[in-house]
Structure 1
Amino acid sequence: MYHHINRHGGAKKLLLVLYTEILEQAIICFTGTTQRFKRYFICFQTSAYGFEVGCRPMLFLDGTHIKQHRVQGVILAASVLNSNNELFIIAYSIADSETYDNWVWFLQNLKRALLSDRRIAFLSDRGTGLKEAIPDIFPNDHHGY
C-alpha cells in the first residue's frame, strides 16, 4: 500500500497517510484517478471531550485561505471559547477550496467526532457554502452570523 501511494504522490503524501493512520480521528481524501489531495480532517479526542464537558455549546466556524507559492487551499476550522474566554480549537480541515461540498464534508466529520448530540449554536461569517451547509447537517441547531 505505501509503495503505491509513494510512487504517485511522493514522500509528503506518504507522511500524510501515515499520520492519518496514527490518529484515529483523522480522515484524508484524494480525488478519483488523479490521486490529487482534496481534503484532510483532524479532531483530537481530547478536544472533542473538552468541548463536551468544559465549554458552552457555541461553535465558531471559519475558513481562511492558504496563500503560498507552492501550496494553495483553505483551512476550515471549528473553535469555541473555553471557560477562561480563550480560543479552543475543536477541529480543523485543510481542503482544496472553500465550497459547499467541503463544508458539508467538514461538518459531517465534526458531527461524528463530537461525543454527544447536544444542541449547538453556530456562529460564522457566511463563508462560501457554509450558510447552506449548516442546516443540512445540523437541522435542529441554531446558526447566527
Structure 2
Amino acid sequence: MKMHSCPHATSSTGVKRKVTPRCVAAIVHKDYLGLYETPTAKTLVGLVERKLGVEVSYTTCLRRKNQAVADLRGDPEKGYKILPSYLYMSEKVNPDTKTSLLLDEHNQFKYLFVTLGASIKGFEYMRRVITVDATFLKTVEGGCLVIATAQDPNLHHYPIAFAVVDGEKKESWNWFFTTLKTVIPDSTELVFVSDRNASLVKAVAEVYLMSKHGYCIWHLSHNVKVHVRQGRDEVAQQFRKIACLYSEAEFENHYEDYRERYPSCARYLDKSVDVKNWAKCHFPGARYNIDTSNCA
C-alpha cells in the first residue's frame, strides 16, 4: 500500500499548518499496520499533535481512521457483492458444505447461512445438544450474527453453523432453523439451549417438533434477581445452583427454601417460566452439563 507523506509541520514563514486527512491515515497505517483495532479519533488527535506538533480536528481524525480501516478490511458493499463467489468456492473446497444466500425483493442481501461439511459429519459424534445465540453486528450494514454450537465428550466447543440475518425476528429465526434442519434433522434426542427470546423459542417449537428446549440459566438468573432490592448477585447465584441439581428431592427442598427467602423471585419463576425448561432434574431430555448459552 502506498503511503502518503505528511506536509511540513510549519511553513517557511513559521506559521503552523493544520494536518491533512491523508497524513492522519498515513500515521494509522504506519503505527498500526495490519491491525483491525486502531486508536479512537480522540486518541488520534493527541497522537498527531505530539508526533507532528500540528493541530488536527476530531472530524478529520475520525474520517481518516475509518478510511484506514476500510483500506484494510475492504469496502462492505463490495464484500456483499462477492458473497456468491465466496460461497461457491467454500462448497468446492469443503465437500458436503451447505450454504444458503437469500436475497430480498430488491435483489439485495437478506440472509446468509454457512455450515462446513466437516462440522456436519462430526456432529454425529457430539452430544445431541445445540446451543444457539445471536449478537448484533457493529457494522455499517447492521444485522445479527447467529451461532449454533455443540460440545464434544471432552467438553470442547464444536461449531456447527453460523448465519447473518437482519435481526432476532420470527421470520429470520424460522429461516435459520429451517435451513439448519436440512443438515441436522429433527429428533427426540435433540436438545436446544438458548435464551428466552420469544421469536427464537417459537421458531424452535415450530420447526423442530420433536426436540426439547432448555433455557439458559445465566440469562434467567439475571431476570430473577431484578425482583429483589438487596443481595441480587446472591439471589442469582443461588438460583443457578438450584437449577443444576440432579435429584428431584434435593431440588424440591432447596427450591422451597428459596421460595421462603425470596418469594417475589419464586412467584416470577412459577408464573413466567415452566420449571421443565430450567431445572435440570425436571428437564425431559439430556442437557449434560450445558446449562447456559454462553459458549455460543
Normalised to the residue count of structure 2, the TM-score between the two structures is: 0.43
Separation (CA, whole Å) in 1 of partners of 2:200 and 2:186: 20
Structure 2 unaligned blocks of 5 or more: 1-75, 92-96, 216-296
Assess if the C-alpha contact under 8 Å between 1:76 and 1:94 holds in 2.
Answer: yes
Residue 96 of structure 1 deviates from its aligned partner by 1.2
Contact 2:129 2:193 in 1 (8 A): yes
1:99-124 alpha-carbon deviations (Å, 9 max, x no partner): 1111111111111012x554311100
Match of 2:136 among 65, 87, 93: 65
2: CA distance, partners of 1:107 / 1:57: 16
Q: Is the 8 A contact 1:37 1:96 kept in 2?
A: no
Q: How many residues align?
A: 133
Residue type matched to 2:147 in 1?
A
Matches within 5 A, 1:35-74: 35-52=107-124, 54-68=125-139, 70-74=140-144
Aligned residue number for residue 181 of structure 2: 111
> Per the alignment, in what secondary structure is the counterpart of residue 83 of structure 1?
coil
Letter in structure 2 aligned against 1:11: K
Q: After superposing the two structures, state which structure 1 stretch, 128-137 or 21-30, moved more.
A: 21-30
In the alignment, which residue of structure 1 is the partner of 2:199? 129
* 2:85 equivalent among 12, 18, 22: 18
Larger Rg: 2
- 1:67 match: secondary structure: coil
Paired amino acid for 1:25: K
Please tell me the root mean square deviation across aligned C-alpha atoms, in Å: 1.8
Give, in angstroms, the shift of residue 129 of structure 1: 0.8
- Segments of structure 1 that go 5 or more residues without pairing to the other structure are 1-8
Aligned twin of 1:82:
152
Question: What residue in structure 1 maps to residue 212 of structure 2?
Answer: 142
Summarize deviations over 1:67-99 as a string: whole Å, max 9, x none.
Answer: 23x131101111011122111110110111111
Name the CA distance, whole Å, in 2 between partners of 1:127 and 1:16.
29
Percent same amino acid among aligned pairs? 26
1:98 touches 1:128 (CA, 8 Å); kept in 2? no
